[in-house]
A and B are shown apart, each in its own frame.
Chain A
Amino acid sequence: MKTLIRQIKALVRLSFMELWRRNDVLALVILALALMVPLSLSSPFGAAGASRYLDEAALLLIWAFSLFISLGTGARLFPPEFESRTIYPLLAKPISRGALLAGKYLGAVAASASALAIFYLLFVGCSLLRGGSLSMEVLQGFVFHLAFVALAVALALAGSLVVTPSANLTLSATALTAMFFFGRRLPDYADAVSAPLSWLVRLAYALGPHVEFFDMRQRLIHGWGGVDAVVFAAVLAYAVAYAGVCLVFAWLILKRKRF
């Protein structure tokens, strides 16, 4: 057990270093500043005092960047190892494929979560500078966002073992973005179309990753307050269950994979 934990810790550290070596996060922070600074300096119609639109833009950017980082990190966990054939020395070590998968996954989640924490710190810092106050729902929103990151990394990791990297990124990004914006409206779309298509829409509604559950943007922007404990637990349970299914699927594929 001790050995397993040591192996997983080493893999987590490797995955974590990988993201920060690529400087993706730095590029995204610079991009966010380039977008947000001019926006915060503008005063629509010359009227001062509006701030919710800045929060809205900032949170949308955080969501977009976290999607980019999570999918990129999750999708790059195994394919480079296969291409450069470094998977052979890795598997030659006394480590099970399950531990390899768990270690890489946890490392990717930790790396993406650290980038997310930086984005949220910037968001809260800017909000405080504008005279806002720190509320508990920001913490709840951050935890929900972490759950999203965990789910997105698991989905991209499972996809990376099934399809090519570009197809995986495209499919994962499409599925997550579509569910984020339209997931809650799928029953309406199913009602509006005829039989075979409506079944497909209902299937997507039942099985698709409901990442819109983690979207606390409106609560944070308009000060609705946090969600209650039961809902909070239900959303986290959903994230754990969905990510768990993706990881078990990935483990089954990796276990049978011949190199």
Chain B
Amino acid sequence: MRYLVPCLALAVMMAFAIARFAPERMPQMVQGDDALSVAFADAKAVLSAAMVQKADSYFHGGIDMECSRWKGARDHEGHEEHDGHCEHHHGGEPSAPADPWLWINRRVRAPERHVHLDGKKSVELLPWFWASVKADPHNIDAWTTAWYVANNEMKDRDLARQILDEAKAKNPESLEIAWTEARFVYAGGKGDVAEAERLLEAARSMGKRKCGGDLSALSPHEAEAFCGILDYLSKIYEGRGMKDAIRPLIDEVRATGTDSPVAAWMLDRL
């Protein structure tokens, strides 16, 4: 018992020492100093991803696309039937005697028609994206998808702007958010093109700064966003007849080392 306090003190000191001298080797990286971040750390990211998955399920009218065995949707509007791995395990529609439990489950938990939640009804997706970014403000996928829903589905540009502003405030160094903002301002060529160009150039500089000039060092997500940024810049240059300005962009896309189709699109613009 008399060794308990010194041992505990030693353990605490060692824990702090390891965190201080080898932070990159710590199993969890706490992003933020609020109580939720300290208490749950990486669990918040998992929770956040689960919320995005829930929003995806809402988009598909309540069907969990992670396991489509249960849906058995007879009529799927909009796109091809999603056949998840679970479907293949059991070889299609079971007869009642073969697996009565599966037979019941499919009929209780599957809609007759697979419909998508689009247009104004997409507002139902927003609470899950909101919960997702509350759990993990660095979930870029949640921010950009929430923006897409507000901008492209609900056609509510004020709401889309508000989501972007929040996303930028929480993730000022995100290339994906910067690219999204530029697309929002560009608005398919009908928006403020000069402002979009300024934003795209700023994002391009940020991308180069983040990787220290070595574009192949960008993460796959960042490289994809960087190529997208260059793609939009090339569209703007093409519109102005500045075809010479597109060539360096093609070199930069190739320098990312990805198999992005953007370089081919740019070549078509020359």
Contacts and interface: CB of A to CB of B under 8 A. Distances in A.
Interface stretch (B127-135, B236-244, B259-267): B127-135
Interface residues on A, range: 20 to 34
Interface residues on B, range: 35 or more
Nearest to B154: A47
A45 B89 contact: no
A224 B99 CA distance: 24
Contacts of B146: 45
Contacts of A213: 101, 104-105, 108
A195 interface: no
Contact of A228 (B63, B107, B131): B107
Contacts of A228: 107
Contacts of A191: 89
Interface stretch (A17-25, A67-75, A153-161, A215-223): A215-223
A47 B150 contact: yes
Contacts of A33: none
Contacts of A188: 67, 69, 85-86, 89
Contacts of A244: none
Contacts of B111: 219, 222, 224-225
B156 interface: yes
B17 to A, nearest CB: 40
Contacts of A215: 108-109
A210 B62 CA distance: 21
Nearest to B133: A45
B126 A50 contact: yes
Contacts of B102: 184, 187
A184 B89 contact: no
Given A45-B146, A45-B162, A46-B162, A225 B62 contact: no
Contacts of A231: 104, 107-108
A187 B108 contact: no
Given A184-B70, A187-B89, A224-B62, A44 B105 contact: no
Given A49-B123, A187-B89, A234-B100, 12 more contacts: A47-B126, A47-B159, A49-B120, A53-B124, A184-B70, A184-B105, A184-B109, A187-B102, A218-B109, A219-B111, A227-B108, A231-B107
24 contacts: A44-B126, A45-B146, A47-B126, A47-B159, A48-B123, A49-B120, A50-B124, A50-B126, A53-B127, A184-B102, A184-B105, A184-B109, A185-B86, A191-B89, A210-B101, A212-B105, A216-B108, A218-B62, A222-B58, A222-B61, A224-B112, A225-B111, A227-B108, A235-B104
Interface of B: 58, 61-63, 67, 69-70, 85-86, 89-90, 99-102, 104-105, 107-109, 111-112, 120, 123-124, 126-131, 146, 150, 154, 156, 159, 162-163, 166
